[in-house]
Amino acid sequence: MDNVFIRTLKSKDHNRPPVWYMRQAGRILPSYNELRKQYSFRELMTTPELAAKVTLLPVEDLGVDAAIIFSDILTIPTAMGMDLEWTERGPVFHNPLVDAQNPHKCLSPNSDKLSFVYSAIELVKRQSDVPLLGFCGAPLTTLFYMLQGTSLKHEFPEARKFIYQNKKETELLIDAVTEFSIEYATQQINRGVDAFQLFDTHAGLMPLDIYKEMFIPAVRRIADAVRSKGIPFIFFPKGLGAGLNLVTPDLCDFVSIDWQTSLSQARQLVHPQVGLQGNIDPMLLFAPKEEIISCMEKNYKPFFANNPGWILNLGHGVMPNTPFQNIKYLTDWIKATNWI
């Protein structure tokens, strides 16, 4: 597969950075919003034909260099037996683990419950040559949702209290989620994903020393399983800040940088053999087109000139209601501009 995304992941020559956007399929595409009038998010995700179709919409409508399978990080808790409802106000687990006695005993992981994801991957691979990313949530982020039950309290207070009050139980839960994530990632790779991204959206909510001691080893286990199958592993530890110095080649191939940390700061912290992805502020896409391009000219073009091991992306998922014309304009500019 000779594509700028795969070439960059393999550190081969290329004359521009590859581009894809976190959360590129839902939220912003007019074609997605049309489909949402007819189907619920759950229906789109769990019907393989529809999930495959939505996965490829950003490739068709925006011309991005990679697709990410249309699913969610909360498929794992669901397939471990938790009862999830997608409401107007986001996902809600009706029995959050903070309320359970011996929560790890409530879980019953069953990979067959994720077969809709595996079938969607097979369909995408049959329909398109575009590189396909598989993904799951990292143990910390996934566990925060399982413990708290909702993302309405943005800082997951009960989940964080639980971790301090129940260290042994937390370790058992991390282990269970990690084991199941390995099974899930392995099955995605068996069905044909070309790279794998681990989303640790809430990494910045734990003190760095605890993150390092309790959660990085779990990330490494998933990374090892993915990389042992010959697939590049991209890690997105949002909010890690100065902790980016923990990111070394034994942990991941690429690290996705949030919008708070500049790419040049990140480049100094992260081990030189690890590539970078990111980190455009999703809010920039609400600015006038000229300002978007001037930010690219000023910050990103010079960065690429000195750092070819870079995948262009946002510093977090694309925001709902982002003007489609702006993201389309940016994508066209990225592909047409002279980067070197």
- Residues in the interface with ligand CP3 (CB under 6 A) total 20
- Report if residue 312 touches ligand CP3, rule: CB under 6 A: no
**What is the spatial distance between Cα 47 and Cα 53, in angstroms, rounded to a whole number?**
10
Q: Where are the beta strands (DSSP E) in the chain?
A: 67-68, 84-87, 90-93, 132-137, 195-200, 233-237, 254-257, 275-280, 310-314
Nearer of residues 237 and 308 to ligand CP3, judged by Cβ: 237
Strand order in the sheet with 67-68: 67-68, 132-137, 195-200, 233-237, 254-257, 275-280, 310-314
322 forms part of the interface with ligand CP3 (CB under 6 A): no
Q: Which of 118, 199, 215, 303 binds ligand CP3 (CB under 6 A)?
A: 199
Q: Tell me if 180 contacts ligand CP3 by CB under 6 A.
A: no
Residue type, 186: T
Q: Are 84 and 78 in contact (CB under 8 A)?
A: yes
* Neighbouring C-alpha atoms within 13 Å toward the C-beta of 272: 2
Nearer to ligand CP3, 41 or 333 (CB): 41
Each residue 207-246 as x (binds ligand CP3 by CB under 6 A) or -, in order, gives ----------------------------------------
Q: Which stretch binds ligand CP3 (CB under 6 A): 2-10, 72-80, 114-122, 289-297?
A: 72-80
CA angle 234, 27, 56 (to 5 degrees): 60
36 makes contact with ligand CP3 (CB under 6 A) = yes
Q: Which of 51, 59, 74, 266 binds ligand CP3 (CB under 6 A)?
A: 74
Entry field: residues in the chain = 340
Q: Which residues bind ligand CP3 (CB under 6 A)?
A: 23-27, 36, 41, 68, 70-74, 90-91, 135, 151, 199, 201, 317
